Each structure stands twice: as structure tokens, then as C-alpha cells.
Amino acid sequence: MSIVRWRLADFLKEKELSAYALGKATGITRMNTIYRIARKGAEPTRVDLPTLALIIDGLQKLTGETVSITDILEYVPDHAPQQEEAPLQKEPEQPEEDELIW
């Protein structure tokens, strides 16, 4: 199954930023929200879209750069071989009503 995973911890490390600084820049009062998302390996699987927008806004304030959603989230497609489905068999054609023999 394909997954979407957080890259926030990597992004913060690359930019030499702390989760604390991000929390302050976002204005989110519950710092645990930021700490939980920024902790590699224990990231939440769900987050509210307004929270995601605040995180992106906070990162833009801190870096002075444009930050996109792909900077902090990554889509990883499933590369497992798919089972081949059997081709659909065509149903036998039904004769038209006027072709029926009575």
C-alpha cells in the first residue's frame, strides 16, 4: 500500500531549525502538536489542514523562503508487484429480439 509520510524532521534538520522555533513561529499554543509532528519515527498519521497550513506559514517565516507541502510531506508509492487480474470474459452476445425463432 502506498503511504504519505512526514519529512518535517528532515526539513528542520536541513534548515538548522528547532521544533520549538517552529512552534513559536506558527502561533500554535499546544507545542506538543509541533513536537509530535517533528519527531522522526513517531509522527501522527492525521493532522488538521489548518494546522498543516500554520506549519507551512511558520516555516516560511523562519526560512524566508517559499515552502510547499512537498517539502514536509512525501508520497511513497507502493512498488509491490500487483497480482494480475484475470481478463474479463466477454459475455456471449444475445440475439436481437427480431432474430429469435419461435
**3-class SS at 28?**
coil
- pLDDT tens digits for 34-64? 999 998 887 888 889 999 999 999 999 999 9
Q: Mean pLDDT lowest for which of 44-48, 65-69, 84-88?
A: 84-88
- Does the pLDDT of residue 93 top 80, yes or no? no
Range from 28-32, 33-37, 82-86, 89-93 carrying the lowest mean pLDDT:
82-86
Domain count, the chain: 1
In a domain? residue 36: yes
Residue 72 lies in a domain: yes
Cα R_g (the chain), whole angstroms: 25
Domain presence at residue 102: no
Mean pLDDT taken over the chain: 85
| 23 secondary structure, DSSP code | H
